[in-house]
Amino acid sequence: MHKCVAKKLCDMNGLDENMNAYIISQAASFIILVVAWTRTRWGRWLFALLFFWASGTNMYLGITNPNIYLQYADMAIPLYRDFINGWFSHYNHILIPIIAIGQFLIATGMLLRAVWVKLACFGSIVFLLSIAPLLVGAAFPFSITVSIAAYYIYLNDDRNYIWKRQAQHAF
């Protein structure tokens, strides 16, 4: 008996050994989507937490052990696999901290107002869509689901400081 829940899903490289993290990531993406849909301000908090966490993790690992990111090549689509094993592998010690800085800026932008929220939403969508081809390495379709949440925030949030009280809408 195959130990993977759905044989089609297990055709993605790396899913068997990452199944628990994969399931948790899918649940988290659904929670982020629902929260963003129902309370954009809370959704922004979740985005800030997610991107601050990712930024810290990537900065630490990018400085201390950048070659750990080369393992994502085995899980990615062929174009990304070639890129990771090629050019990226020579400059990962520079690129990962740069990515971490971008994630930090996205998280910070989610806390601010006006154009900063728009830029943070746009940046998170671009980032999340760009990691989707990592497949299991990025818990696909996590990045698609969370991109939809960011787009919803972009369209519907009042874009005020996250700590300011939201205006009540009269119906």
Q: In this predicted structure, what is the pLDDT of residue 126?
A: 98
CA distance linking residue 22 with residue 4, whole number of Å? 12
Which sequence spans correspond to the domains of the chain? 15-63+77-156
Instruction: Please determine, for residue 8, whether its predicted confidence score (pLDDT) is greater than 70.
Output: no
**Full DSSP string of 112-130:** S-THHHHHHHHHHHHHHHH
CA distance linking residue 156 with residue 40, whole number of Å? 7
Alpha-carbon dihedral 135, 141, 144, 145, rounded to 10 degrees: -150
Instruction: Please determine, for residue 123, whether its predicted confidence score (pLDDT) is greater than 70.
Output: yes
Instruction: Please determine, for residue 171, whether its predicted confidence score (pLDDT) is greater than 50.
Output: no
